[in-house]
């Protein structure tokens, strides 16, 4: 898009996000939920849609949906209902999807993003629905096969208001949403396994003005960067169409990540095309105020709250708190270290630099770390109290991480403890003063910078083990005699 078109138009974006809830079984039957596996092995009369089969709602799915909704600040309704949404597709054996329509489980929440100022994005609704099966187009020549293992897997759909104003903002929202869902522990949020799927609605309007109306919906967005790219592409396409005096047709577009373009899939269905009607076989979901309150009381601290608490309680700079709180487990790990060392900033430095560096090199997550926070805290303590130097600390860290041994044992075995014994340090002072008489004379004649050279010799003489602070005191005392 040209700069001029950018200036004239602004994007209006709303997202619909499907999140697979981490239940053991499906939404309306006891079939196991798992990724992959032989096709059509986790199916039963209910998810196959056989006549006479009766769906029964999975209580854990309901609870996780409530957790999701409360975490997004929504109002959870004591009564919600399921409906049938009809459409014909080979992977939909019943000919309809059981979803929530005009009485969803929750409405009216919000999520704040930082861009860089705070922006509040409203959440219109959160509802429960079952997933469809999967069409496999690559198994047999010219045929499409259907795998119904995924049919009936529980999803929540999260629908935003059209409050997002740029593709980058949509991306920031998705990052924040994923982080929030991970904090809530309602889903593994793994996009590669389809646990988190995004559809994006977009229209353009004159900057700050009223919407020009028609919007399109982008599907087949397999990563957050695809969402952002597809929205960039579609903003430009709509701006060109309007710029040429044309109109944007409401339609559903499929994003092709390899070609970097979208193509039309169909003109957009309206609600009436689905012939929604109440699901007669599933009674309304009825939640007591007490149950909702108890789920609310058990919610974890949310990312933004954790971030500000880390800053306040441990005196951390904003950057540290933001990285540490990106992952709830990382933040917990850091806190365990900091509580033991009593030094927040030093603990944060060690976790952000050494722990994250070590994990990143190995492609590991904080949950896979082979040593405990207490082990790292012990090592940090040895550096803070001067038992070992910072340099020795780094090397002890590597050995500790690889071998699982504790820091004290490594320090003892490798003789890394700093020497703070005056008698021993005086021996090194004697050696250096005797070996460099010219430098000593120059220092005494006023060349203060020679001190650094002599100090370097002393450290070398001690093979790096002299406690630098004490060594420098004793050397200076001797030279100033």
Answer yes or no whether residue 159 interacts with ligand ADP by CB under 6 A.
Answer: yes
Answer yes or no whether residue 154 interacts with ligand ADP by CB under 6 A.
Answer: no
Q: In angstroms, give the least distance from the CB of 384 to ligand ADP.
A: 51
Q: Please name every residue paired with 285 in a beta bridge, in sequence order, or none if there are none.
A: 80
- Going by the DSSP 8-state scheme, the letter that residue 366 receives in this structure is G
Separation between Cα atoms, residue 142 and residue 473, nearest integer Å: 83
Answer yes or no whether residue 123 interacts with ligand ADP by CB under 6 A.
Answer: no
Answer yes or no whether residue 83 interacts with ligand ADP by CB under 6 A.
Answer: no
Nearer to ligand ADP by Cβ, of 13 and 239: the residue is 13
- Going by the DSSP 8-state scheme, the letter that residue 56 receives in this structure is -
Q: Please check whether residue 128 is in contact with residue 100, taking contact to mean a CB–CB distance below 8 angstroms.
A: yes
Q: What is the size of the binding site for ligand ADP (CB under 6 A)?
A: 15
Residues 6 or more apart whose Cβ sits within 8 Å of residue 300: 183, 184, 185, 328
Helical (H) or strand (E) element with 45: helix 45-48
Binding test (CB under 6 A) with ligand ADP, winner from 106, 151, 202, 376: 202
Query: Which residue, judged by CB position, is nearest to ligand ADP in the bound state?
Result: 14
β 251-256/261-267 pair status: antiparallel
Answer yes or no whether residue 72 interacts with ligand ADP by CB under 6 A.
Answer: no
**Ordered DSSP codes for 264-288:** EEEEPPPGGGG--EE-TTSPPEE--
Among the listed ranges 136-144, 170-178, 195-203, 328-336, the one in contact with ligand ADP (CB under 6 A) is 195-203
Q: For the beta carbon of residue 447, count every other beta carbon within 10 angstroms.
A: 12
Answer yes or no whether residue 161 interacts with ligand ADP by CB under 6 A.
Answer: yes
Binding test (CB under 6 A) with ligand ADP, winner from 13, 62, 407, 411: 13
Q: In angstroms, give the least distance from the CB of 214 to ligand ADP.
A: 8
Q: Please check whether residue 86 is in contact with residue 314, taking contact to mean a CB–CB distance below 8 angstroms.
A: no
Answer yes or no whether residue 107 interacts with ligand ADP by CB under 6 A.
Answer: no
Show the site string, 253-272: x = touches ligand ADP by CB under 6 A, - = not: ------------------x-
Show the site string, 410-449: x = touches ligand ADP by CB under 6 A, - = not: ----------------------------------------
- Torsion angle in degrees (nearest 10) through CA of 50, 51, 52, 56: 40
Binding test (CB under 6 A) with ligand ADP, winner from 58, 80, 99, 160: 160
Answer yes or no whether residue 104 interacts with ligand ADP by CB under 6 A.
Answer: no
Distances (CA, A) of 81 to 9, 102, 127, 240, 280: 40, 8, 10, 43, 10
Q: In angstroms, give the least distance from the CB of 194 to ligand ADP.
A: 20
Answer yes or no whether residue 133 interacts with ligand ADP by CB under 6 A.
Answer: no
What does the block give as tokens for 342?
């009593």
Measured at the alpha carbon of residue 18, what is the angle toward residues 17 and 19, in degrees to the nearest 5?
115
Among the listed ranges 27-35, 42-50, 54-62, 154-162, the one in contact with ligand ADP (CB under 6 A) is 154-162
Separation between Cα atoms, residue 8 and residue 204, nearest integer Å: 10
Specify the residue for token string 């003489």. Answer: 461
Nearer to ligand ADP by Cβ, of 17 and 66: the residue is 17
Answer yes or no whether residue 232 interacts with ligand ADP by CB under 6 A.
Answer: no
Q: Which residues bind ligand ADP (CB under 6 A)?
A: 12-16, 159-162, 201-203, 211, 215, 271
């Amino acid at each position: 898009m040209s700069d001029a078109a950018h200036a004239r138009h602004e994007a209006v974006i709303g997202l619909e996000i499907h999140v697979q809830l981490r239940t053991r079984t499906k939404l309306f039957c006891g079939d196991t939920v798992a990724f992959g596996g032989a096709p059509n092995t986790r199916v039963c009369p209910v998810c196959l849609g056989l006549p006479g089969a009766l769906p029964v709602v999975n209580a854990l799915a309901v609870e996780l949906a409530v957790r999701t909704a409360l975490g997004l600040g929504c109002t959870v309704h004591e009564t919600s209902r399921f409906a049938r949404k009809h459409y014909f597709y080979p992977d939909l054996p019943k000919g309809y999807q059981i979803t929530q329509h005009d009485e969803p489980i929750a409405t009216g929440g919000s999520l704040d993003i930082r861009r860089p100022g705070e922006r509040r994005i409203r959440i219109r609704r959160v509802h429960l629905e079952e997933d469809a099966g999967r069409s496999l187009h690559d198994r047999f020549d010219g045929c499409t096969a259907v795998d119904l293992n995924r049919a009936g897997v529980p999803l929540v759909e999260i629908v935003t208001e059209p409050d997002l104003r740029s593709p980058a903002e949509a991306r920031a929202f998705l990052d924040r949403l994923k982080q929030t869902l991970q904090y809530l522990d309602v889903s593994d949020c793994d996009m590669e396994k389809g646990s988190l799927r995004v559809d994006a609605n977009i229209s353009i309007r004159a900057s700050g003005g009223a919407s020009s109306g028609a919007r399109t919906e982008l599907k087949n967005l397999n990563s957050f960067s695809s969402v952002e790219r597809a929205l960039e592409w579609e903003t430009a396409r709509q701006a060109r169409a309007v710029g040429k005096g044309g109109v944007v047709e409401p339609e559903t577009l499929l994003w092709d990540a390899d070609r970097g373009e979208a193509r039309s899939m169909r003109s957009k269905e309206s609600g009436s095309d689905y012939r929604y009607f109440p699901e007669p076989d599933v009674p309304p979901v009825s939640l007591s105020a007490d149950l909702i309150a108890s789920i609310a009381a058990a919610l974890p601290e949310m990312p933004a709250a954790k971030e500000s608490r880390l800053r306040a309680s441990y005196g951390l700079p904003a950057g540290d708190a933001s990285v540490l709180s990106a992952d709830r487990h990382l933040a917990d790990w850091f806190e365990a270290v900091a509580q033991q060392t009593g030094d927040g900033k030093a603990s944060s430095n060690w976790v952000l630099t050494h722990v994250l560096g070590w994990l990143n090199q190995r492609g590991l997550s904080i949950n896979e770390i082979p040593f405990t926070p207490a082990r790292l805290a012990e090592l940090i303590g040895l550096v803070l109290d001067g038992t070992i130097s910072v340099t020795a600390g780094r090397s002890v860290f590597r050995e500790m991480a690889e071998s699982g041994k504790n820091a004290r044992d490594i320090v003892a075995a490798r003789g890394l403890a700093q020497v703070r014994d005056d008698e021993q340090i005086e021996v090194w002072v004697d050696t250096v003063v005797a070996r460099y008489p010219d430098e000593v004379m120059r220092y005494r004649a006023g060349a203060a910078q020679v001190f650094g050279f002599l100090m370097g010799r002393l450290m070398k003489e001690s093979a790096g083990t002299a406690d630098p602070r004490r060594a420098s005191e004793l050397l200076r005392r001797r030279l100033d005699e």
